[in-house]
Amino acid sequence: MAEQHHQTVSIETVTLQVKDLEKVSQFYQEIIGLSVLSEDKQHIALGIDENKEPLIILTAEGEYELVTGPRNGLFHIALLLPSRADLGDVLKRWIEAGYRDIGASDHGYSEALYIQDPEDNGIEIYVDKDPSEWDINADGSVNGITIPMDAQGVYASRHEQTPKKLPVGTFIGHLHLSSEHIEAFDRYYHEALNLRQQATLPNAHFYSYDGYHHHFAINNWDVEKMIPHKDQHTGMASYTLHYHDDTLFQKITDSLLADNRIISIENNVVYAKDPNDITLILKK
CATH number at residue 142: 3.10.180.10
Pairwise CA distance, residues 89 & 106, whole Å: 17
Asked whether the whole model's pTM tops 0.85, one would answer yes
Query: What confidence category does residue 4 fall into, taking pLDDT thresholds of 50, 70 and 90?
Result: confident
Domain of residue 196 covers 3-283
For the CA atoms of 76, 77, 83, 86, the dihedral, rounded to the nearest 10 degrees, stands at -90
Specify the pLDDT at position 52.
81
- Burial group, residue 43, by CB count within 10 angstroms (0-12, 13-18, 19+): middle
pLDDT value, residue 3: 74
Share of the chain above pLDDT 90, in %: 91
> pLDDT per residue over 97-144, tens digit each?
998 889 999 999 999 999 999 999 999 999 999 999 999 999 999 999
Give SS3 for 223. Answer: helix
Average pLDDT, the chain: 95
Give the total number of structural domains in the chain: 1
pLDDT surpassing 70 at residue 1: no
